[in-house]
């Protein structure tokens, strides 16, 4: 199986888009490369990433999401993760634009209030940020917290949703 990749210009630089023939598999922040895709997706042996031919409609949809803050339909991305990760990612998609949740609130929302660390790990391993809005999760202690794309980018993404932290 071959995944295809391309770069999209967006906030803070070039974003990496990895897709199969029909769906987005990974959206990488500026500075992330193929090694990050392999680490996060745990690609099986034999899966390669090629540097071209991402379907134009996926490039257009992801560019609109990254640049113009247009939502990407869940039908447009592959959700390959453990059942627990998928529950967390589903809960992330339920956080309305312009609102945030803490990791504790997210753990409670999936019915596992003591699984805060596991929820944080699932949030951090989200392969399609922005499509699954992990930037809307904040630490209970305040501030924007950590973010795979960097705290400056997380603050920018929250501010473009009207949140000032």
> Token pair for residue 141?
């202690």
Q: Which residues share a beta bridge with 16?
A: 7, 28
User: Catalytic one among 62, 109, 134, 158?
Assistant: 134
Residue 111 has pLDDT above 90, yes or no: yes
Q: What single DSSP character describes residue 128?
A: S
Catalytic-residue membership of 134: yes
Q: Which residues share a beta bridge with 2?
A: 48
pLDDT at 153: 92
Task: Tell me the pLDDT tens digit for each residue of 82-91.
Answer: 999 999 999 9
- Predicted TM-score of the model (pTM): 0.88
The closest alpha carbon to 89, from 120, 114, 122, belongs to 122
User: Which of 33-53 are b and which e, b meaning 16 or more Cβ less than 10 Å from the residue's Cβ?
Assistant: ebebbeebbebeeeeebeeee
The closest alpha carbon to 120, from 88, 83, 161, 78, belongs to 88
Residue 44 has pLDDT above 70, yes or no: no
- Lowest mean pLDDT, pick from 46-55, 83-92, 127-136: 46-55
């Amino acid at each position: 199986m071959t995944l295809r990749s391309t770069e999209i210009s967006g906030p803070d630089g070039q974003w990496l888009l990895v897709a199969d023939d029909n769906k987005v598999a990974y959206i990488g922040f500026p500075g992330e490369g193929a090694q990050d895709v392999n680490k996060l997706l745990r690609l099986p042996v034999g899966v390669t990433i090629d540097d071209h031919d991402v379907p134009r409609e996926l490039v257009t949809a992801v560019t609109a999401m990254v640049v113009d803050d247009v939502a990407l339909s869940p039908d447009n991305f592959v959700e390959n993760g453990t059942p627990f990760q998928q529950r967390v990612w589903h809960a992330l998609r339920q956080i309305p634009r312009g609102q945030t949740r803490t990791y504790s609130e997210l753990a409670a929302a999936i019915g596992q209030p003591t699984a805060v660390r596991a929820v944080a790990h699932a949030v951090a391993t989200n392969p399609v940020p922005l499509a699954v809005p992990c930037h809307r999760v904040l630490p209970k202690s305040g501030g924007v917290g950590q973010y795979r794309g960097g705290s400056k980018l997380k603050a920018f993404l929250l501010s473009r949703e009207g949140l000032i932290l």
